Amino acid sequence: MTQMTHAEALEQARRIVAQMTLDEKIGQLNYTAPAIERLGIPEYNYWNEALHGVARAGVATVFPQAIGMAAMFDDAELKRVAETIAEEGRAKYNEYAAHGDRDIYKGLTYWSPNVNIFRDPRWGRGQETYGEDPYLTSRLGVAFIRGLQGDGRYLKLAATAKHFAVHSGPEAKRHEFDATASAKDMAETYLPAFKAAVEEADVECVMTAYNSTNGQPCSVNDDLLHRHLYGRWGFEGHVVSDFMALEDVHENHHYTKDAAETMAAAIKAGLDLCAGRCSGATKEAIERGLVSEDEVTHAVEALFATRVRLGMFAQDCEYDHIGYERNDSAAHRAFNRALAPKTFVLLKNNGILPLDKSKLDAISVTGPNADSVQAILGNYFGRPSHKSTILEGIERACGDDVRVYSGLGCSLFGTHAESGLSRENERESEAVINAEHSDVIIAVMGLDSTIEGEQGDAGNSMGAGDKANLSLPGRQRHLLERLLEVGKPVVVLLASGSALSLDGLEDHPNLAALMQVWYPGGQGGDAVADVLFGKAAPSGKLPVTFYRDCDGMPDFEDYSMKGRTYKYMEGEALYPFGYGLTYSTTAIGDLSVDLNHDARTANVSLTVENTGKRDEREVVQVYVKNLDSPLAPRNWQLAGFRPVELAVGERTQVTLPVDPDAFKVYDENGEQIVDGDRFEIYAGVSQPDARSVELLGFAPRSRTVEF
């Protein structure tokens, strides 16, 4: 079925808007658009969230946080997630609308995905993104948008690429901060995912960021909106501000004098929808000659074109019949549980995992995230109807076969675990006693959205949602030291949305295994237990670099990419981007590269073999390094990836097309050019860096090619 075009929708939208008075049109510029009863137009609220499930709208399937799903390195699987979210979003909308409930979080325009680049591990909202690499982010963003919007006659949901652009902290300063980035860094790092969202996924909406970019607030930024979004990329949807970002333009950036000037500047720049409270100043802006009624009309037409494409004014919308029973279904929960292990990144394993229950009498499960619901949900979440904390999942898996001792151990970030009347280590002795009576110690540590997240969220109690360093907060490290001293094997599970460091304890001989489980979603606890006891296996790869510490890291406010991420870093990572172990072992070989010299493209073929004793899921990765151009990134760059399922002993050939952009560079003006003919191509299951080779025990295959 051919999807309704923008031109077709705009034609119908124009007929609707032509019937409105000026005051009615101005009313439609706000995200809480009022009803126009005389025209049969119901009220509509544009604000919905769906980073990893329908959020803030009651019960829904809560998938692992976005950063965890990025660790799958699997655009097809992420598209399935988005399709599931779209199914649930429509099911909920149909019922809410039938009951006349058109409140916030109950519409069809979803402000997801977040395709900003996670350039600095201190940023609290990095958990919402797909990591630090623009190529990975682009591929995953396109897949998620396509999954949300569907391929029917009408859009299933309208997706939003946010936050446009150059936005990644610090959270405390986002309302007045000016992110300064070179034209090269803009084109090479900060803009590709937005470009792909528009040109490849036809994203229906783009949300502007709070900050300024290169001296101009993003909501009124001519370079971002006029030159790039509408100009170079040919965007045809609508643009919305982040919540209260337009107020920031005059109140915090002091770029305009008042709300009327802001609304005029925004509309002229191409912004259509005010998520805030200053859209009412539009009439004053018209009266002062700052903006014309025709320009206002154009903005409203763009908004109604989206509503038309969603089938809101149609009698034949194929999604109107999606029933409420499709929300949070048993099938969706099962999919979620099966998906979560693909997001877990096994960072260390001395062979203890998976645990053999038949050889265990007792285990201890301790740590502030062990029995925490918050630690499975992340931020921007719905309410799972069948949820399991990590402790609950382990207890269910053990049943009566293995005794499970449990205890808090310490608080997440405070000095006292429970009572201010006690000593600071009030729960540590219980954790140690439990450990002494166990065969294996499982320590569940890390962060949650009360520490990392968005500035202004009720739970962000530290650093406005950002973190000051990569260490475990509070007394967590001290607790871990005590547990390691017991002499039993310790398995550490890290629940967080960003890189953490154990400050050297990673190498402790009693730390038998370390696994990053992110915020694993509604079925996260059961999924973690599935992996611990071998019912499932971890197969994620890091979508961000895990640094050893923040020493020598560029200033958080510095948006230059020099020294940042795996592409430009100069030191050695603790755990590199693209790294992750499985429960099996892998061998690679027989690399071949087929070049198309005229088109400057390549196909890379690699044989991959499962040489271990378990079926496995591996992720083949291709990296390219330009050997000639001084304009190329300092290191190599990801240019292709594909997960592959391998039975025990299975050997298969994987062929990947290399992203053509990997054979080009960006000059200092941000223009993409051909510069250099010699390239090193690496293919394997990791980066070619020395640390990855050390951790895995083998290097990717490589081949030097010349066009």
Which residues are part of the catalytic machinery? 242
Q: List all residues 6 or more positions away from 108 whose beta carbon is below 8 Å from its beta carbon.
A: 48, 89, 90, 93, 155, 157, 158, 310, 312
The dihedral built from the CA positions of residue 195, 90, 28 and 307, taken in this order, carries a sign that is positive
Angle between helices 330-339 and 524-532 (to 10 degrees): 50
DSSP state of 532: H
- Report the interhelical angle of 428-436 vs 476-485 (nearest 10°): 30
With beta carbons less than 8 A apart as the criterion, state whether 92 and 323 touch. no
Q: Residues 596, 657: contact at Cβ < 8 Å?
A: no
The token pair at 622 is 């291709």
23 class by beta-carbon count within 10 Å (0-12 exposed, 13-18 middle, 19+ buried): exposed
Q: How far apart are CA 2 and CA 322, in angstroms?
A: 20
**Whole-angstrom distance, CA of residue 17 vs CA of residue 25:** 7
* Rounded (5°) CA angle 698-702-705: 175
| CA 125, chain centre distance (Å) | 9
The tokens of 646 are what? 């391998």
Q: Which residue shows structure tokens 């300063």? A: 173
Task: For residue 17, give the H/E element and its range.
Answer: helix 6-17
Q: Integer distance in angstroms from the first to the last C-alpha of the chain?
A: 41
Q: Kindly report the three-state secondary structure assignment for every residue of 500-514.
A: CECCCHHHCCCEEEE
State the angle between helix axes of 192-199 and 134-149 in degrees (0 to 180), rounded to the nearest 10: 30
Query: Strands 586-596 and 601-610, how do they pair?
Result: antiparallel
As a three-state string, the secondary structure of 413-479 is CCCCCCCCCCCCCCCHHHHHHHHHCCCEEEEEEECCCCCCCCCCCCCCCCHHHCCCCCECCCCHHHH
d(CA 13, CA 329): 35
Q: What is the 3-state secondary structure (H, E, C) of 227-283?
A: HHHHHHCCCCCEEEECCCHHHHHHHCCCCCCCHHHHHHHHHHHCCCEECCCCHHHHH
Residue with tokens 């971002």: 224
The runs of H, that is alpha helices, within 324-409 are 330-339, 374-377, 390-398
Strand positions, DSSP E, 278-360 = 345-349
The amino acid at 411: S
Instruction: Give every CB contact of residue 555 below 8 A, 6+ residues apart in sequence.
Output: none
Q: What is the C-alpha to C-alpha distance for residues 77 and 83, in angstroms, rounded to an integer?
A: 10
Residue 304 phi/psi, 5° resolution? -75, -25
Query: Widest CA span of the chain, in angstroms?
Result: 80
Quote the radius of gyration of the chain (alpha carbons, Å): 26
The two structure tokens encoding residue 133: 């690499």
d(CA 377, CA 389): 10
